[in-house]
Amino acid sequence: MPKLLIATKNKGKLIEIQNLLENIPHQLVDLGDAGITDDIPETGATFEENAIQKARFAGLKSGLLTLADDSGLEIEYLEGRPGVKSARYVPGTDNDRVNQVLKELKGVPTEKRNAKFVAVVALFDPRDNSVKTWRGESLGTIADVPRGSRGFGYDPIFYNFDIRKTNAQATAREKNQVSHRARALRQARIFLE
């Protein structure tokens, strides 16, 4: 079975990607397995650019077929922020970033708290230098307080319209049916199969 490198340092993402790609005809390996410890550059202006940059960097380094995910939360009231900067919106932990978003939305009524999770998945093949991308989105609203303890990142404040609870209140199975990442990977999966 050919190897497929999943180029992410984010544990929460890695677990979801492994679940969503279960049973594809590839052996999934992670950055640790591939011996890649570098800080992977992420300097693009779009999710597409960053996903390609990450997949290409790790793919060239390892010589393996490589998949990377660039994702983030776009909040309408904040004109799309934190967007591509979701992971570095403020220094600190996921919890600090959640609190920053809640602070910026303090007093903003429900109807103005619409948000969308975006994931772009890039697949780089070092044999011919080719790259493909797929995008998935998930619609919701930013909750007034964090709810639930599952998932990662902004999950506790993302009330997901598809499942009518926050992503952190959903089981992994529920989130993986409707998430931005699931929607992007569903397309990648068809290609990989």
Binding residue positions for substrate: 8-13, 71, 152-155, 175, 180-181
Window of 22-30, 103-111, 129-137, 152-160 that interacts with ligand ITT by CB under 6 A: 152-160
| DSSP assignments along 136-151, one per residue | EEEEEEE-SS---SSS
CB of 87 to ligand ITT, least distance (A): 3
Q: Tell me which of 70, 94, 128, 144 is the catalytic residue.
A: 70
Window of 8-16, 18-26, 122-130, 184-192 that interacts with ligand ITT by CB under 6 A: 8-16
Q: Which amino acid is at 109?
A: P
Active site residue 162: no
Long-range contact list for 142-149, CB < 8 A, 24+ apart? 142/75, 142/101, 142/102, 142/105, 142/113, 142/115, 144/102, 144/110, 145/102, 146/98, 146/102
Per CB under 6 A, contacts with ligand ITT among 78-117 are 86-87, 94
* Cα–Cα dist 95/80, whole Å: 20
- Indicate which residues carry an active-site annotation: 70
* Contacts with ligand ITT, residue ranges (CB under 6 A): 8-10, 13, 42, 54, 69-72, 86-87, 94, 151-155, 167, 179, 181
